[in-house]
Amino acid sequence: MKYLDEFSDPVLAKRLFDDIRAITTRPWALMEVCGGQTHSIIRHGIDQLLPEEIELIHGPGCPVCVTPLEIIDKALEIASRPDVIFCSFGDMLRVPGSGRDLFKVKSEGADVRVVYSPLDALKIAQENPDRQVVFFGIGFETTAPPNAMTVYQAKKLGISNFSLLVSHVRVPPAIDAIMRSPDCRVQGFLAAGHVCTVMGMAEYPELAEEHGVPIVVTGFEPLDILEGIRRAVRQLEAGEHTVENAYPRAVQAEGSPAAKAMLADVFEVTDRAWRGIGMIPASGWRLSPKYRAYDAEHRFSVTGIDTQESTVCRSGEVLQGFIKPNECAAFGKECTPRNPLGATMVSSEGACAAYYLYRRLETPDKEASSVG
Amino acid sequence: MCLAVPGRVLEIEERDATRMAKVDFGGVVKDVCLEYVPDMRVGDYAIVHVGFALQRLDEESAKQTLELFENLGVLEEEFGDAWGKAARDAGAERPSGTGLPPTDGVEKEARP
């Protein structure tokens, strides 16, 4: 079997592929929610080794990809201010706003700094009391607790020159929105393992019941993904739709009580726009009133942003699983990692970047063939 | 930044009334907050995301995942030279004020 020797345990991988083949009697479409899972799937050719009947649809689980253009533009405006040190994770540097990105703003002289952790940004604030330090707080339920803790610490330590530009998103409302779409083809979900490490599994039974879909909490390693697929297909073939945990070494049913308590203190649920998808009710977090003083949007009054999305980019359809990346006319042509039109190409966790990196090109062009 | 990376706790200290640790990610050592997994001990493995331990992990799983993430380039992404990567991706010069010219690896850049 092609690529099989790349699995950490090829014998177990073959057994899982054989099991999946044995139980599959008809076509099924599964969505892997997490961008990390997408990369593992494409890197190891899992989608190509599965029975033809099983289609993997790539989900919206890349935080960089779904951060709305308006927030990127606000980040760029705040970062351009001379009194500001703007701190971000490295993977946001080249996400395109309306015409520029953080890399370009830095090149023009802004004080943009890459940090590993939000606590690093807080430390910069302590060391620079005469500057405003803003941290770009994006991400899913995995990233929100660290950012919540950082705001909590800022308040506790009385650090008043720190603020958070918040654009946190929540997975369960996105699953609900995907299932409600009239064009939805998804019949089962591989839920994002590390999101569940924090949140546990309590939010999923209602979704599985309401939409009649199996939801299997799944890790990132190839064998984890195969096990997730095996369990989802077994349920579908049996006409079941329950929630299963196929990543028990990292996920407990109740999640992380300490992280959930901090989230409940620092954030409150809000409607949130997802880049390429649009508004999803109750799909995000913002700072709760108690911590509103640390909200960079309020502190810097960034309003009146005129956003301008690419008219060519189809990343919204990729994020919802309506098309595969290489079905977009711009893919690998005017849209490449060097000149990304949308965040799904610029983010290393984006589905378009995964397809490009691992050469899933229908008609590889000159530039594409030089990659890797 | 999406994935959480396993690491081994090397030492633990209180800092600003917060439980912090030095954690080793296959050779790269970073400061990590233990407040969400307060019972971690030196020698334990944890899943760490953006400087926060999120859950304990057994040693074998941790080592397997670290190996996979290294092969996938996740460690370079997480701990490497973000400005250098952005400059290469953009086909541009590294902006001023972002450190020395590109280095040849994760370890050199990320070790404290």
CB distance A221–B65 less than 8 Å? yes
Instruction: State residue B55's pLDDT score.
Output: 95
SS3 A275: coil
Task: Tell whether the model's pLDDT for residue A158 goes beyond 50.
Answer: yes
Find the CB nearest A63 among B2, B32, B33: B2
Residue contact B54–A194, C-beta within 8 A = yes
Residue B85 with chain A: CB contacts under 8 Å: 90
Cβ contacts of B13 on chain A, cutoff 8 Å: none
Q: Which of B55, B73, B90 sits opposite A94 (nearest CB)?
A: B90
pLDDT band at A211 (very low <50, low <70, confident <90, very high): very high
Residues of A in contact with B97 (CB under 8 A): 106, 111
Q: Residue A47: pLDDT band by 50, 70, 90 thresholds? A: very high
Cβ–Cβ contacts within 10 Å for residue A298, how many?
12
Which of A106, A117, A262 is closest, CB to CB, to B50? A117
Place of tokens 């606000």: A74
For tokens 């009697």, name the residue: A25
Q: Which residues of B touch A43 (CB under 8 A)?
A: 72
B38 chain-A contacts, CB cut-off 8 A = 258
Interface of A with B in 294-313 (CB under 8 A): none
Mean pLDDT by 10 residues, chain B (112 residues): 88 93 95 96 96 95 87 83 90 87 46 39
- Residue ranges in A295-357 assigned as alpha helix (H): 296-300, 315-319, 343-346, 351-357
DSSP, collapsed to helix, strand or coil, labels residue A311 as coil
Measure B25 CA to nearest chain A CA, in Å. 13
Minimum-distance CB partner of B95 among A90, A107, A338: A107
ipTM of the assembly?
0.90
Q: Of A112-121, A272-281, A361-370, which gets the smallest average pLDDT?
A: A361-370
Rounded to 5°, the CA angle B36-B41-B43 comes to 120
With contact defined as beta carbons under 8 Å apart, do A209 and A203 qualify?
Answer: no
Q: Is B70 on the interface with A (CB under 8 A)?
A: no
Identify the CA nearest to A22 among candidates A237, A171, A220: A237
pLDDT of A258: 96
Q: Can you give the pTM of this predicted structure?
A: 0.91
Sheet arrangement for strand A84-88: A111-114, A84-88, A132-139, A162-169, A278-287, A267-274
